[in-house]
Amino acid sequence: MTDIAAQFIGLPSPTARRAGAGGHPCQGLYWTAGKERPSVAVIASHYNVDFAEHYIAPWFARRGIGFLGWNTRYRGAEDLFILEQALIDIGVGVRWLRESAGVETIVLLGNSGGGSLMAAYQAHATGAGGEGHSLATRAALDALIPGDLYISLNAHKGRPEVLTAWMDASVIDEADPTRTDASLDPFSLANGPPYAPAFVARYRAAQRARNQAITDWATAELARLNAAGVPDRVFPLFRTWADLRFMDPAIDPSDRPCPGCYAGDPRVANRSPLGIGRASTLRTWLSMWGLGTSNCQGGPQQAALTAPALVIQSLGDMGVFPSDARAIFAAIGGPDKTLEMVPGAHYFEDSDDHRDRVADLMADWIAART
């Protein structure tokens, strides 16, 4: 078997210097096999999760495709996330592939939460991403190099969408995780499962209202603090493992285990402090999580995609569902797009055969376009 090498890459960002202790804001591993420099490479990044040792990296490398598992300054620092700065950091990795690694075809891989992030990168790199929030970042955003191909792999529709879909709609006091509305409790047997269509509609509306209420508070609180000379603050978020699809397999049917979520039993996970969005600054909420304020929503970014696009969804995924993949596919603006449903769990951790199959699927799709 060909030896696989993982080269560490650490680089500064146009808007973030190397830390005093030595760490670079942009870091990752470049995975290759053999001595030849790949002419095709994949780059994958996430809002928060460390993708340097991404599970699919050696599968790509064995197929002659380079893989850059790339982290922005926000790896492990989701509470501080600002979209435009993350896009600039991703651009550092893309530029390194093109100018230092000699890659001719760059594939943007949007995996899990990274789906909308990589779509947002491409949208900004092709001039369709808007003006951003700060004039100081404009030059760096204008210099982004677009990718040549885009793959959505078990990707959530967007950051605000997934958080809202997972929110516990019964919460009535954001400062107290014990206070809930029993009539909206998704874990009460009086409500289901199975959940009646009227309950589902009411629950989904209450989830959106919860997101909007936090957005309204964050907007007002940021203005209040700024008026007093305070730039920002951190706040907690409770109960975010309560998507009705976690408990009712009849909603968005698939092969997933149910009840279940990425954190185990949703009834237990929903009461724990471990969940997406569990801490945010006010600015981060408005940049990443607010339905009415965030540019991390998938739809507008995916609509700007004109490069060939492949959407893959595994049917055993407990947190991304068939309807999510179909929505992403429908939103993508370019004419060359493909949707594939495949077996396996979210990261295909249930089977090496599933990883082999999806790696073959992606490699064959890429080869047909290079």
3 state DSSP class of 55: coil
- Contact call for residues 247 and 164 (beta carbons, < 8 A): no
Residue 59 makes CB contacts below 8 A (sequence gap 6+) with 355, 356, 359
- Assigned token pair, 104: 């001719």
Contact in structure between 131 and 83 (CB atoms under 8 Å): no
Nearest to 7 by CA among 32, 34, 25: 32
Domain ranges of the chain: 4-158+296-367, 161-289
Is 16 in a helix, a strand, or coil?
Answer: strand
Residue the block writes with tokens 């491409």: 122
Q: Which fold has domain 4-158+296-367?
A: Rossmann fold (3.40.50)
Secondary-structure breakdown of the chain: helix, strand, coil percentages, each rounded to the nearest 5: 35, 15, 45
Class of residue 47 by CB neighbours under 10 A (exposed 0-12, middle 13-18, buried 19+): buried
The pLDDT tens digits along the chain (370 residues) read 468 999 999 999 999 999 999 999 999 999 999 878 999 999 999 999 999 999 999 999 999 999 999 999 999 999 999 999 999 999 999 999 999 999 999 999 999 999 999 999 999 999 865 555 566 678 899 999 999 999 999 999 999 999 999 999 999 999 999 999 999 999 999 999 999 999 999 999 999 999 999 999 999 999 999 999 999 999 999 999 999 999 999 999 999 999 999 999 999 999 999 999 999 999 999 999 999 999 999 999 999 999 999 999 999 999 999 999 999 999 999 999 999 999 999 999 999 999 999 999 999 999 999 9
Give the span between the Cα atoms of 203 and 170, in whole angstroms.
8
- Close Cβ partners of 186 (under 8 Å, ≥ 6 residues apart): 168, 169, 170, 192, 195, 203, 242, 244, 247
Residue 5 CA to residue 29 CA, distance in Å, equals 9
